[in-house]
Amino acid sequence: MRVDAAAPYEVRQSRVRTGLTLALCSLLPVTAMVIGLGNLSELYVFFVIGLVFESIFVSTMLARIRSALRRELLFAIDEQGVYLGPDQYGRPAIREQWSRIDFVVHFQGRVWTTQNIPKVVRNVGFVRDGKIITSRVMNGWRLNVKRAAAAAARFGGGTQVLKAPYHGEIPREAIYTLPLPPQWLAAHARPGARRLPPEVSGTTN
């Protein structure tokens, strides 16, 4: 893919992936409900247990189901900057302009779930002044690094998409910072104090 021909990069909530996840996780509860219905007078316990677990699962998936039906925008790189959609922790969508972004980064890190259980997840975010200003968990989707890098190079005036180091704990607050190691920053520093203005016309001199 030629950088000067790169299109904006977008990721939207997948209806197919969400449907498959819902179907797979519903397999055991629905099976239990079917067994219970086969002989409700004696096996009603199976039906009740299946119904309870299915209700819990659907309630936890409800926001994602709604997002999939709307094909909600989760992440974007375009002429306006970088867009991070809302997430399961209640953090609102945010769009940052290119003039306030040094790098776009993807990385792994540990978060504490709403059940206070640690979980290692993949994240994408952006860097300014040596810190990851904010990020979002890639829940149910993956970053196409090649396409994202091409879009960032074009629309962000040469902005890079880089893999950042692992972070032991990622806050769930709407606004937070994660400092990056000085060695990592030095290794990825680019000549010149500032990037060129974003190129959005697709032409070159």
pLDDT of residue 171: 82
Residue with tokens 């970088």: 82
pLDDT of residue 200: 43
pLDDT, tens only, 30-87: 888 888 887 877 787 888 888 888 888 777 777 777 777 778 899 999 999 999 998 8
Q: Give the integer Cα–Cα distance in Å for 118 and 134.
A: 19
User: Would you say 35 and 46 are in contact if contact means Cβ atoms under 8 Å apart?
Assistant: yes
Instruction: Give me the residue spans of the domains in the chain.
Output: 3-12+77-187, 15-69
Dmax over CA atoms of the chain, in Å, equals: 79
Which residue has better confidence, 198 or 56?
Answer: 56
pLDDT of residue 70: 76
Q: Give the integer Cα–Cα distance in Å for 12 and 82.
A: 14
Q: Give the integer Cα–Cα distance in Å for 136 and 157.
A: 23
pLDDT of residue 191: 59
pLDDT of residue 6: 67
User: Would you say 13 and 74 are in contact if contact means Cβ atoms under 8 Å apart?
Assistant: yes
- In the Cβ-directed half-sphere of 104, how many Cα atoms lie within 13 Å? 34
- What the block records as the tokens of 70 is 């709307």
Q: What are phi and psi of 64, to 5 degrees?
A: -70, -35
Which residue has better confidence, 7 or 19?
Answer: 7
